[in-house]
Structure 1
Amino acid sequence: MSAGNALLRAAGAVPAAALVSGGLIGGYATARATGVRPLGGAVLAAAGAAAAHRWWHRGGPGTTAALGGLYVLGFGLSHPLAKKIGAWPSVLAVTAVNAAANAALVDRAGR
């Protein structure tokens, strides 16, 4: 078994809501703590890729497109929203929306 396959299998055991939360919060925290925005982007992208794998297998292409769009939109909207309510509140707000959508569409029991 390759390391990539093992990583994907492990990601499948993690709820999608946790993956997107880790990506949005972890990406911002990494960029802020290190001062290296591309490193934060790498965290965001890695978590997004793991979540996309889960979306595809649990919800199919439509769910993947919708939740992928929401994830990218959340990241994009967090920047102007931060100017109005502050950086951390903005990140937490877009994370809450993403986590709720993932919980409802992918993680709920019976899916």
Structure 2
Amino acid sequence: MQRLPSWPIAAGSLLLGFAVADVTGVRPLGGIVLFLGALWCGLRWRREQGLAVAVALVAAFLAAFVLSHPLGKAIGSWPAVLVVSAFVGTIVWARVDRVAPPGTGVSAAPSR
């Protein structure tokens, strides 16, 4: 059985967190979604990739969240959230979820 990739959770929690805050008008609810997404991903990355990788990826997640605010002023809220979500998803996919072609000797995903 294949494991669930973490990139959709990381990117999706940014999208869902903003959507919850936007629809309800209660920003802390969106923050809870962001926190839970980052927590789930961070714990999984720590278990599978080690503490240093987990800290770096959670830092990228948080930096994207912070950068979405000034970017939102320039291009609009939803476009900014889409951009940073795609950025985070791509970083996580490349570092954690990508499986290299056979024979290259390189794989970001853990072997099982």
Structure with max Cα Rg: 2
Structure with more of its chain in helix, by fraction? 1
**Alignment partner of 1:62 is 2:47:** no
Query: What's 2:22 paired with?
Result: 32
1:1-111 to 2 correspondences below 5 Å? 13-109=3-99, 110=107, 111=109
The CA RMSD measured in Å over matched residues stands at: 1.0
Residue aligned with 2:80, SS: helix
Residue aligned with 1:103, SS: helix
CA distance in 2, matches of 1:14, 1:79: 30
Partner AA of 2:63 in structure 1: L
Q: For residues 1-54 of structure 1, give each alpha carbon's deviation from its aligned partner in whole angstroms, at most 9, with x where no partner exists.
A: xxxxxxxxxxxx432111111210000000000000000000010011111122
Residue aligned with 1:15, SS: coil
TM-score between both structures, scaled by the size of structure 2: 0.84
CA distance in 1, matches of 2:9, 2:88: 10
Alignment identity in percent?
Answer: 40
Superposition misfits of 4+ residues, deviation over 3 angstroms: none
Residue aligned with 2:61, SS: helix
Q: In 2, are the aligned partners of 1:82 and 1:90 still within 8 Å (CA)? A: yes
TM-score between both structures, scaled by the size of structure 1: 0.85
Q: In 2, are the aligned partners of 1:59 and 1:105 still within 8 Å (CA)? A: no
CA distance in 1, matches of 2:48, 2:91: 13
**Structure 1 position 61, deviation (Å):** 1.1
Structure having greater relative contact order (Cα 8 Å, sep ≥ 6): 1
Aligned residues between the structures: 99
Query: What's 1:7 paired with?
Result: none
